[in-house]
A and B are shown apart, each in its own frame.
Chain A
Amino acid sequence: MSPIQEKGMSLIVKTVTKLTVGFILLYGVYVALTGHLSPGGGFAGGVIVALAFIHVMLAFGKEVALRRLRSQTLRVSIGVSALIFLYIVMAGFSGRSIFNCEITIPICEMAIVGFGLFAIFTALVLLSKTDKDAE
């Protein structure tokens, strides 16, 4: 096994994570998209998406999770979705926007919250890593 595979938790946790993380992501998107019919909404869905990525990161170590979702992708998607969100809300003053609000607002919220919280978690983990090296 390569040294990257050795990191993280035990084999049982890794196998269960491989099986379940797709379903957790799917559930997060479902909660975000059906927020107007049932309990949920963009923010709850976004936090669930962030928890799915954090789950991968805790089980496999930070290299694997960051290889799947690069830092540049995180920043670009947070920025673009924040701009689309701002545009939609400001277009409410003129009365008409080019997007469908009921779909786009939850997707944008989900992107901001999910990717943003995962970026915060990554930054905090990297921060405590340097702390450990200093000790």
Chain B
Amino acid sequence: MIEINLLLIFMIAGALIAVRVKDLLSSVIAVGAVGIALSLGFLILKAPDLAMMQLVVEILSLIILIRATIRKDIPFSMSGGWTFNTSATIVFLALFLAVAFFALKGMPVFGNALMRVSGAYITQSPALGAKNIVAAIMLNFRALDTLGEATVLFTAIVGVLAVARKIGHKKES
């Protein structure tokens, strides 16, 4: 799978640019490039549902982040304890990567998924009238999961509308 390796290297480069660059608008656009590359990666990994969802969600979050950061690209200072903070962070990341490398040996080799759970889903879902098995899992076998997802989204909507309302804002000023 050379394609997915190339896409991952592109995503790492985009993420490094997004972390390192000073201008906030350039950073947001770089992270948008990472998201579009992730959508292509889902398409290569045979997940068309996820590719469509990631593309659409990436466009929406890019629009909202640009609306949030436009005309606010203030430079920010790095002061106080720079060497200690950076070295501590790098040691932490090295520990994380080492532990994760040993944990990866317990996983199945790439390209040979076990499919112990989803075998039952695949054999039962044609009788339920759904050809797309991901939609069958989301709407039939795991509908309570979808209800929780809708609850989280609904709570986020209520939270944003409560944070951004105008009534309390006018009284302060």
Contacts and interface: CB of A to CB of B under 8 A. Distances in A.
A20 to B, nearest CB: 15
B147 A89 contact: yes
Contacts of A78: 154, 157
A47 B60 CA distance: 8
Nearest to A54: B63
Contacts of A113: 153
Nearest to B139: A105
B90 interface: no
Contact of B169 (A31, A39, A109, A130): A130
A132 to B, nearest CB: 8
A51 B147 contact: no
Contact of A39 (B49, B64, B165): B49
Interface residues of A, number: 42
B133 to A, nearest CB: 10
Contacts of A43: 53
A44 B157 contact: no
Contacts of B68: 124, 128
B34 interface: no
Contacts, number: 104
Secondary structure dominating the interface of B: helix
B56 A47 contact: yes
Given A101-B139, A123-B160, A123-B161, A39 B132 contact: yes
A113 B135 CA distance: 17
Nearest to B144: A89
B57 interface: yes
A37 interface: yes
B83 interface: no
B166 interface: yes
Nearest to A125: B67
B93 interface: no
29 contacts: A31-B52, A36-B130, A36-B131, A36-B136, A36-B139, A41-B134, A41-B138, A44-B49, A47-B53, A47-B57, A51-B56, A54-B63, A82-B154, A86-B147, A89-B147, A92-B143, A101-B139, A105-B143, A109-B146, A112-B153, A119-B157, A120-B64, A120-B157, A123-B161, A123-B164, A124-B64, A124-B164, A125-B67, A128-B67
Interface of A: 31, 35-41, 43-44, 47-48, 50-51, 54, 58, 78, 82, 85-86, 89, 92, 101-102, 105-106, 109, 112-113, 116-117, 119-121, 123-128, 130, 134
